[in-house]
Amino acid sequence: MKYLQNEFENCYEEKKSKFIAFFMPYDKFNDVMKRLKEEHPKARHFVYAYRYLNEFDQIVENCSDDGEPRGTSGKPSLAVLSGAQIINSAVIIVRYFGGVKLGTGGLVRAYSSSVNEVINISELFEYKKLETAKLKCDYSELSKLEYLLKQENITIKSKDFLEEIIVNIELSEKELKDLLLKLPRNIILQ
């Protein structure tokens, strides 16, 4: 599964109609929709589709045709996101009507193409479920541990300086298994 961290935009034209696709992280969906409605007051349709993981690791998805003939815009847009295995992301397609009717097949192709094109120019990241772990080490071992974590691209969330240092990290299950094989004996997983 893949996700994105920034917003991307692409314009697709079909028979004088403009389909401007805005692709964003899901948590920015409402703000971007509000902004687009202010920036594009003459647009005819604001079609959207989104997919995200809820707290139970289930994929929640939704879409809207926003006045286009039923099933010709939101569903095809959602199908593209699903087919590309994209999660925690949303797409909004702003349509300006060009005067030529596209028909249902033409609308499906145009909306699908606009979403595919914006995905193609986007920077996507591989999704991995993260968990937290605590490592305990002596003060003398901290620099070694920080170096190892940096080499393994593991995020340090915080450090607690007590009698010994507790380093709180965030990583995937596989990364944790790999890290345990590389840790010096005196650095302990709590």
Enumerate the β-bridge partners of residue 50.
62, 90
d(CA 173, CA 156): 15
Q: Is 88 left (phi over 0), alpha (psi -120 to 50) or beta?
A: left
State the residue range of the domain holding 43: 2-126
What's the structural domain count of the chain? Answer: 2
More reliable by pLDDT, 42 or 130: 42
Domain-ending residue, one of 110, 126, 142:
126
Domain boundary at 126, 155, 173, which? 126
Q: In whole angstroms, how far apart are CA 25 and each of 49, 59, 123, 162? A: 12, 15, 12, 38
Residue 174 is part of a domain; what is its CATH number?
3.30.70.260
pTM for the full model? 0.72
How do residues 54-68 score in pLDDT, each as one tens digit? 888 888 999 998 888
Q: Are 67 and 44 in contact (CB under 8 A)?
A: yes
Q: Of 126, 161, 177, at which residue does a domain stop?
A: 126
Over residues 10-14, mean pLDDT: 88
Report the SS3 class of residue 63.
Answer: strand
Instruction: Give the pLDDT of residue 148.
Output: 87
The yes-or-no verdict on residue 50 having pLDDT over 90 is: yes
Residue in the block written with tokens 């687009």? 36
